Structure 1
Amino acid sequence: MDKFKLEDIKDVHVGHIPAAKKGIVDSLMGKDLLKESVSLEHMSSYKQGHQLGTEIENLLKGYEQD
C-alpha cells in the first residue's frame, strides 16, 4: 500500500466544518449518533465528513495489514 501523504487531502473542501467533524466522528464510531444534531442546511457537509471518516478508516486498516 502506498504511504498516505497530507497532500492527498489538503484540497478537500467540506463546507461547514462542525458538521463535517460530526460526520467523521460518526463514521469512525460506526454509529450515526451526531447526525440528528446537524441541520438539513449542513447535511451535505456531514455526508462529506462521513465519507472522509470512511476513507481514513480504510487507510488505517490497510496499514494494519502491511
Structure 2
Amino acid sequence: LPGTRSAHPAREEKKPLKPCCACPETKKARDACIIEKGEENCGHLIEAHKECMRALGFKI
C-alpha cells in the first residue's frame, strides 16, 4: 500500500543480549547437571557458564 511505512527504522538498533539468552550451550549443560546431580555437584559447569556470561559483559 502506498504511504505505509515499515515499523523498523532504517538503521537497526542492536538490542542488548538478555541474560536468559546468553551462552545457551553452557546454560543447558549447567541446568541439566543441576537437575540430575544437584547444584553442589556442578560447580565446574556453573563456573563455565559464569565465565561465558562475563565474557559477554554481564556482571556476575
State TM-score, norm by structure 2.
Answer: 0.39
Look at both structures and tell me which one has the larger radius of gyration over its CA atoms: 2
Structure having the higher helix fraction is: 1
Report 1 or 2 for greater relative contact order, CA contacts < 8 Å, sequence distance ≥ 6.
1
